[in-house]
Amino acid sequence: MRAAAAVDQDRLWRRHMAMAEIGAIPGNGVNRPCLSSDDIRARALLLDWLPRGRQPAVDRIANLFVRRPGRDPNALPVVVGSHMDSQPAGGRFDGIFGVLAGLEALEALDAAGIATLHPIDLVAWTNEEGGRFQPGAMGSAVFTGALGLQSCLKLTDRAGIRFEDALQTTLAATPGLPRRDFRFPIAAYLEPHIEQGPRLENAHRQIGVVTGIQGARWYVVEVTGEAAHAGTAPLAGRKDALRAAVRMIAALQELMHDPQDQLRFTVGRLEVVPNSPNTVPAKVSFSIDFRHPEARVLDERGGRIEAVCRANAGPCAVTVAETFNRAPCVFPDAIVDAIERAAALAGHSHMRLPSGAFHDANFLADVTPTGMIFVPCRKGISHSPAEYAAPEDLAAGARVLAATLADLAGGAAD
Ligand code: GLV
Ligand code: MN
Ligand code: MN
């Protein structure tokens, strides 16, 4: 309990507010795309805050690690963190809370004089959001081997900037940092995060003990028609890519209808070429984000997406490419129980719940025992400038993290 008691709520809140200035947008939001100049500034600020003597390091996809040594130099590290990039119109807490809570927990262990057996690595994963380069959770997926680095390097953002170039710029901003390997062995992984849903707030609980993460599949659908003059081309002969896309989206909404309201289906990006009021659209691409807790549903409905698009293409051509496919994951009892114990010890109300959002934890769960700690966010709103988490809830999450770390990393006499 000494570790939890040493968490400093004001420092944690001040750091959130300082980070929120980097990439600030109107309405209290944040736009901090991965590997952007603001991402580089956020990384530099984090490094500025490190306690003296802490050695940072990066890997080849710019995942950033900071080690707190353990008593046994041969023991595997317990890794803790999340991400610092945001959605294009995101909030001040999604991602960064996990990194700042991790830093706060390390400082709390220092202040409490706790020397853990295992080293603890704080991590900030690259490109969790997938707003600039798709897919999301790229840094953790490459780290664990679920995705190859080479396949990421050639990606471009919407301005045509190559991932490889943005990555080199980011790595060059911290010259001389030692390099870590991908997939180094890890004793356990913990990720604190805002809930991004309303369940904790509705149940008046301060801590969510996360049991697992629902599965997610992403697709890009490209519809190709033919440009023509809006005033002269007869409707009968048109190849209107937007009309076809609208039909497809309506049919996909039917396909994805779920009377239980468990399935999540979103078309969040639509691009129209040439996007001119008086030209028949020649090309449309749209994204699909589709999620469910059961692999069976993801397989079955996901397997019908392409056929539904083809059936509604009319005179246009269509291609459907899957860009992300992550099965649901279940966190092991040992970690879930440890977090629950820590919440009880720290005196915070808690409940078990699954995650609707995906997280880097989803990929870490492939390679090490993994768990997540949620704190409430107002009205469950996230991926929005309106996202808000209260300072006392953030501190509660950091306290539970510190206590869980002291337990899992073998804190002497905590
Ligand atoms: C992560 O940001 C997600 O979309 O769940
Ligand atoms: Mn996040
Ligand atoms: Mn997010």
Substitution candidate for ligand 1 out of 93, 196, 217 with most atoms within 8 A of CB? 196
* Listed residue (374, 293, 376) closest to 330, CA to CA: 293
Question: What's the 136 CA to ligand 1 centre distance in angstroms?
Answer: 7
pLDDT exceeds cutoff 70 at 412: no
Q: Which residue is listed with tokens 């262990």?
A: 109
Q: Quick: pLDDT tens for 347-405.
A: 999 999 999 999 999 999 999 999 999 999 999 999 999 999 999 999 999 999 999 99
DSSP 200: H
Q: Give the residue whose CA is nearest to atom 5 of ligand 1.
A: 357
Name every protein residue with a CB atom under 6 angstroms from any ligand 1 atom.
Answer: 129, 136, 357-358
Query: Which listed ligand is nearest to 87 at the C-alpha?
Result: 3
pLDDT exceeds cutoff 60 at 414: no
Q: Quick: pLDDT tens for 134-171.
A: 999 999 999 999 999 999 999 999 999 999 999 999 99
* Listed residue (318, 309, 322) closest to 215, CA to CA: 322
Substitution candidate for ligand 1 out of 195, 358, 372 with most atoms within 8 A of CB? 358
Triad 362, 99, 42: Cα angle to 5°: 120
Q: How far apart are CA 22 and CA 35, in angstroms?
A: 13
Question: What's the 86 CA to ligand 2 centre distance in angstroms?
Answer: 8
pLDDT over 70, % of the chain: 99
In 2-101, DSSP assigns E strands to: 24-25, 29-30, 55-58, 64-68, 78-83
Q: What average pLDDT does the segment 112-117 reach? A: 96
Closest approach atom of ligand 1 to CA 137: 1
Query: Which listed ligand is nearest to 98 at the C-alpha?
Result: 2
Please tell me the number of Cα atoms within 13 Å of 361 on its side-chain side.
35
Substitution candidate for ligand 1 out of 265, 383, 384 with most atoms within 8 A of CB? 383
Question: What's the 82 CA to ligand 3 centre distance in angstroms?
Answer: 10
pLDDT exceeds cutoff 70 at 413: no
Residues whose CB is less than 8 angstroms from the CB of residue 119 and which lie 6 or more positions away in sequence, other chains included: 67, 68, 69, 70, 73, 75, 77, 78, 409
118: left (phi over 0), alpha (psi -120 to 50) or beta: beta
Question: What's the 98 CA to ligand 3 centre distance in angstroms?
Answer: 12
Closest approach atom of ligand 1 to CA 383: 2
Q: Quick: pLDDT tens for 64-82.
A: 999 999 999 899 999 999 9
Helices (H), 32-83: 37-49
Q: How far apart are CA 223 and CA 243, in angstroms?
A: 10
> Which string of DSSP letters, residue by residue, matches 221-261?
EEEE---EETTTS-GGG---HHHHHHHHHHHHHHHT--TTS
Q: How far apart are CA 267 and CA 256, in angstroms?
A: 12
At residue 411, the pLDDT reads 79
164: helix, coil or strand? helix
pLDDT exceeds cutoff 90 at 53: no
Specify the pTM: 0.94
